[in-house]
Amino acid sequence: MATTTRQRTGWSIANVVVAIYALIPVLWLLSLSLKDPSTFTDGHFIPRKWTFDNYVSIFQVGGFLRPLVNSIGIGLISTLVAIVFGTFAAYAIARLQFPGKRLMLGASLLIAMFPQVSLVTPMFQIERQIGLFNTWPGLILPYITFALPLTIYTLSAFLREIPWELEKAAKMDGATPFQAFRQVIVPLAMPGVITTAILAFIMCWNDFVFAISLTSSNRARTAPAAISFFTGASQFEDPVGSIMAAAVVITIPIIIFVLIFQRRIVSGLTSGAVKG
């Protein structure tokens, strides 16, 4: 009994340490974003004068809505395309025998490891020549490319775990192959597909290198890149409040995602990356 109590205390302390580790920097962002500009430089962790002006101003003056819409749109389209094509490939890799399978996996791995900056130089030039520079497709294409290896690896790990004999059983019970697939396999595969979609979306949402080098205005610039271009009211003013408010705004969706899908993200990351 004594050991269990001690163990329980020990783990509880560990939990608190983890909580502090994860939350302090996030609370700091929140605190700065809520500070009145006159109290920015007081260095206090908890704001002395609260205000929502920073949030109002990024949308009214800063034009943050457009980058936010860009981020959501580009992220969703890239995720969707990557998931559809990635699922095809993952199904083939998990279920079918064909030469070139290892080549496909190897190429995906290679691309996952690619230094994005290495692609920036040629893509900058190619996109300017074919008119994709500073457009949605100009960002969607590289995002799909980097999301594909992730979806292929994670999903093929998921698909391997599905008991495929069920499909055979359904067919024996008189289902057509499509019915068997649609009613047995799809529901089983869905959680994996959703997890993978979340991971892919987080990746696109997080990107910065492509977002700042392949865009030149708010036409296609995504939220993280737009934040880095915020300017203060005057040349000498640091736009702390705006940056922090925007930072909190683009953090909220991710925190909601994490809260809802925590279990799935954990299993998705762990099964995909290690067993793959």
Which among 162, 195, 175 has a CA at the least distance from the CA of 270? 195
Nearest residue to 64 via CA among 222, 276, 254: 222
Cβ–Cβ under 8 Å, residues 147 and 82: yes
For 31-51, give the DSSP string.
HHHHB-GGGGGG--SS-SSB-
Region of residue 232 (phi > 0: left; psi between -120 and 50: alpha; otherwise: beta): beta
Strand-pair partners of 35:
50
Which segment (51-59, 60-68, 130-138, 223-231) binds other proteins by CB under 8 A?
A: 223-231
Is 109 in contact with 93 (CB distance < 8 Å)?
no
Residue 253 C-beta: closest distance to other proteins, Å: 9
Which residues ranging from 73 to 112 are in contact with other proteins (CB under 8 A)? 85-86, 88-89, 91-94, 96-111
Instruction: Among 56, 61, 69, 126, indicate the residue that binds other proteins (CB under 8 A).
Output: 126
Which one among 5, 118, 234, 235 touches other proteins, defined by CB under 8 A?
A: 118
- Distance of closest approach, residue 177 Cβ to other proteins, in angstroms: 13
Rounded-to-integer distance, Cα 62 and Cα 89, Å:
42
State which of positions 24-63 bind other proteins (CB under 8 A).
Answer: 25-26, 28-29, 32, 40-41, 43-45
Distance CA 273, CA 26 (A): 27
Task: Considering only the stretches 47-55, 59-67, 137-145, 181-189, report the one whose residues sit in contact with other proteins under the rule CB under 8 A.
Answer: 137-145
229 alpha carbon, distance to own chain's centre:
21
**Number of residues counted as binding other proteins (CB under 8 A):** 105
Task: Based on DSSP, count helices (H) and strands (E) in the chain, helices before strands.
Answer: 12, 0
Query: By CB under 8 A, which span of 56-64, 174-182, 186-194, 202-210 interacts with other proteins?
Result: 202-210
Structure tokens at 270: 């762990």
Query: Distance between CA 51 and CA 15 in Å, rounded?
Result: 32
Choose the binding region for other proteins from 47-55, 57-65, 114-122, 185-193 (rule: CB under 8 A).
114-122
- Residue 65 or 84 having the CB closest to other proteins: 84
- Of the pair 22, 61, the CB lying nearest other proteins is at 22
In angstroms, what is the minimal distance from the CB of 58 to other proteins?
13
> Considering the complex, what minimum distance in angstroms separates the CB of residue 178 from other proteins?
15
Q: Minimum distance from CB of 61 to other proteins (Å)?
A: 19
Closest CB to other proteins among 99 and 174?
Answer: 99
| Type of residue at 146 | F
Please report, in angstroms and rounded to a whole number, the separation of the first and last CA atoms in the chain.
42
Residue numbers 232-261 binding other proteins by CB under 8 A: 240, 243-244, 247, 250-251, 254-255, 257-259
Q: Kindly state the DSSP code that residue 214 receives in the 8-state scheme.
A: S
Segment 12 to 31, residues that bind other proteins, using CB under 8 A: 12, 14-15, 18-19, 21-23, 25-26, 28-29
184 binds other proteins (CB under 8 A): no
